[in-house]
Structure 1
Amino acid sequence: MFDVLVYLYETYWRPDACPDHAQLTRKLTAVGFEDDEIQEALNWLEGLSAAGEAFHGQQSVSAMRVYSPGETDHLGETSVGFISFLESAGVLPGPMREMVIDRAMAIPGSPMDLEDLKIIVLMVFWSLGEEPDALILDELFVAPEDRLIH
């Protein structure tokens, strides 16, 4: 599923640039993705759209987010720490954070793999038509061991 999401991010500027589901399914099949992987990704994207509507218009408040035990278990310490890092850096306001958590909770298996969470963060930005700044893109895509230290 995550391969399909990354392909959509790289291929379509914004979600509204994607063709309708039937045509998109045909295109993804032609590229070589499996039907179950495509359907899982498209269902996940529908949930992302619903989450965007649910959290749209909420004010970003300076409040501490307390994770439920189920969220902590599912996300794992590393993912919770990464979400907190993005919040403290000022790039993940409350409503977007809630979208990330909502979509991460929709993924089976725990704890959440950090690389998968980074794709979820990227897809939340994408779904809102926002481009993360260069430093955040670096954090999302470049492995720590590959970073140049100045």
Structure 2
Amino acid sequence: MFDILMYLFENYIHSEAEIMVDHDELTDELTRAGFHQDEIYKALSWLEKLADLQHNDEHPYLTRLTGPSTRIYTAQEVQRLDTECRGFLMFLEQVNLLDVTTREMVIDRIMELDTKDFYLDDLKWVVLMVLFNVPGHEKAYSQMEDLIFDERPDGPLH
């Protein structure tokens, strides 16, 4: 499922191509690209739920969050998000790329992924997808994009 999300993001969203609204056409294209039908439906559902998170009346836990906070992770979240991932989320909050609400949206979407293994690179892509889909976070999206694509090589710069 995560591979499909990455495919969609790279081919439609990141490339600024026009996004197809017709689910049948999109499903057909993903099938031709080699993805399985059930995984396609899971990925499209995941994206729809991401869009739904923006409607605060349907997700009241997002509207009560204001100001800085300390996130206590559940046992299931700790299993999915290792120390490196949780530290990166904290870093993103400290540099104001994520606020409390977008952090919760990221965690919500991570927990809905149908994957056994989840790594820091996966987290970065989920953060990028969330920031892209939340109006008013264009600057944070751009900065996150720079973090992902402009990573410096290891070692000193000469």
Aligned residue for 1:33?
Answer: 35
* Aligned partner of 2:20 among 18, 21, 39: 18
Q: What runs of 5+ residues in structure 2 fail to find an aligned partner?
A: none
Higher share of residues assigned helix? 1
Give matches, 1:1-150, under 5 Å.
1-13=1-13, 17-53=19-55, 54=59, 60-109=66-115, 112-129=118-135, 130-131=137-138, 132-142=140-150, 145=153, 149=157
State the structure with more CA Rg: 2
For the structure 1 residues 27 and 111, does the alpha-carbon distance in structure 2 shift closer, same or farther, using more than 3 Å as the test? closer
Aligned residues between the structures = 149
Q: Distance in 1 between matches of 2:106 and 2:84?
A: 14
Aligned-pair CA distance for 1:101: 0.4
Q: Distance in 2 between matches of 1:139 and 1:100?
A: 17
Residue identity in the other structure for 1:34: H
Q: Normalising by structure 2, report the TM-score.
A: 0.74
Q: Normalising by structure 1, report the TM-score.
A: 0.77
Aligned-pair CA distance for 1:94: 0.9
**Alpha carbons 2:97, 2:143 under 8 Å: kept:** no
Residue identity in the other structure for 1:31: A
Residue identity in the other structure for 2:148: L
Q: Distance in 2 between matches of 1:116 and 1:51?
A: 20
Q: Distance in 2 between matches of 1:24 and 1:148?
A: 45
Aligned-pair CA distance for 1:134: 4.3
Could you say which structure has the greater relative contact order, defined with CA pairs below 8 angstroms and 6 or more residues apart?
1
Q: Which runs of 4+ in 1 moved over 6 A?
A: none
Residue identity in the other structure for 2:11: T
Aligned-pair CA distance for 1:73: 2.4
Q: What runs of 5+ residues in structure 1 fail to find an aligned partner?
A: none
Q: CA RMSD in A?
A: 3.0
